[in-house]
């Protein structure tokens, strides 16, 4: 029989983490985990629920920083970020996850920790150079980049008894930038990404691109930057006609020919988001 811990504070959580073993499970919104529990008939010795810790849900946005609690849901993230130019990609990605039911339960912590290749938020977290604040048994904390959080094989690098507390984005590094996320799936709603395109541009008043960041998701086990695409964009306007040239930068990154072709269309849709 499992023991279930439902800590109410971050301090209680630190204590509960010390009880976890290799056979324990951590529950956030449950949209991924419950499927595994049922399908694989998992019987954890300890089930630790993060649902009772209100601090983990807090989203705090100042002009300097965005702090997003690991238990913030997709719906909450979309509501908080929509309309903020530098953070728009996060609103786009969260707003496009699953169905309303999934967005009301699924959390950013679960999305990043689950580390599916097709997960929508990791490419955006990479784009915005997010940091993950982590807590382990006894409340010991450390901060790593989201790139370090991914183990490269659709898993995470968290040690036994560690959880993500929150994600931090340094907004001062993106002053004047706009960002967007566009995904391609096999249908328009409740769809798993076949390509996820996260783009951030710093544009002059006439639209000329002064600097660009591009990160692709759902192609490899972890997101990856496309420096060749960024170089093409610099000095130009976000003309959707650039999509063909940008699509060429996908070559060699995927064995699926359709994704090479489809990337052009995804680039086109993404560039349209940056029209003046």
Residues making contact with ligand FAD (CB under 6 A): 25-33, 50, 70, 97-98, 102, 105-107, 109-111, 113-114, 119-120, 158, 163-164, 190, 192
According to DSSP, residue 259 is labeled: H
For ligand FAD, the closer CB: 14 or 106: 106
Mapped onto helix, strand or coil, the DSSP state of residue 47 is: strand
CB-facing half-sphere around the CA of 20: CA atoms within 13 A: 24
CB 65 to ligand FAD: min, Å: 19
- Give the C-alpha separation, 141 to 17, whole Å: 12
CB 13 to ligand FAD: min, Å: 10
Tokens standing for 60? Answer: 């705090």
CB 114 to ligand FAD: min, Å: 4
For ligand FAD, the closer CB: 249 or 270: 270
Q: Catalogue the E-assigned strands of 17-172.
A: 25-27, 46-49, 59-61, 65-69, 131-135, 141-145, 163-170
- Give the C-alpha separation, 196 to 224, whole Å: 11
For ligand FAD, the closer CB: 25 or 228: 25
| b/e burial code for range 4-34 (CB count within 10 A of at least 16 → b) | ebebeebeebbebbeebeeebbbbbbbbbbe
CB 275 to ligand FAD: min, Å: 26
Contact 24, 44 (CB under 8 A): yes
Cβ partners under 8 Å of residue 27, min gap 6: 33, 34, 47, 48, 49, 50, 51
For ligand FAD, the closer CB: 165 or 212: 165
For ligand FAD, the closer CB: 113 or 214: 113
Contact 105, 31 (CB under 8 A): yes
CA angle centred on 72, ends 104 and 50, rounded to 5°? 95
For ligand FAD, the closer CB: 48 or 212: 48
CB 131 to ligand FAD: min, Å: 14
CB 56 to ligand FAD: min, Å: 7
Question: Which residue's beta carbon is nearest to the bound ligand FAD?
Answer: 110
For ligand FAD, the closer CB: 33 or 243: 33
């Amino acid at each position: 029989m499992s023991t279930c811990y439902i800590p109410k504070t971050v301090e209680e959580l630190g204590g509960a983490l010390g009880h976890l073993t290799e056979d324990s499970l951590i529950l956030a919104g449950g949209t991924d985990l419950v499927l595994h529990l049922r399908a694989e008939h998992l019987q954890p010795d300890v089930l630790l629920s993060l649902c009772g810790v209100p601090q983990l849900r807090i989203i705090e946005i100042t002009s300097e920083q965005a702090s997003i609690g690991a238990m913030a849901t997709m719906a909450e993230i979309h509501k908080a970020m929509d309309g903020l130019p530098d953070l728009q990609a996060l609103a786009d990605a969260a707003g496009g996850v699953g169905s309303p039911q999934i967005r009301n339960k699924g959390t950013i912590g679960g999305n990043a920790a689950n580390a599916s290749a097709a997960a929508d938020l990791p490419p955006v977290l990479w784009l915005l150079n997010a940091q993950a604040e982590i807590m382990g048994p006894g409340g010991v904390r450390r901060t790593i980049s989201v790139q370090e959080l991914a183990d490269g094989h659709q898993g995470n690098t968290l040690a036994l008894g560690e959880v993500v507390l929150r994600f931090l984005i340094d907004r001062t590094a993106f002053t004047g930038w706009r960002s967007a996320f566009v995904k391609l799936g096999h249908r328009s709603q409740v769809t798993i990404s076949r390509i996820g395109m996260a783009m951030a541009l710093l544009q002059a008043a006439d639209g000329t691109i002064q600097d660009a960041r591009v990160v692709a998701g759902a192609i490899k086990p972890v997101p990856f930057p496309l420096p060749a695409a960024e170089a093409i964009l610099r000095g130009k306007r976000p003309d959707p006609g650039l999509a063909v040239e940008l699509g060429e930068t996908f070559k060699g990154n995927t064995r699926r020919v359709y994704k090479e072709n489809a990337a052009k269309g995804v680039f086109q849709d993404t560039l349209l988001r940056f029209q003046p």
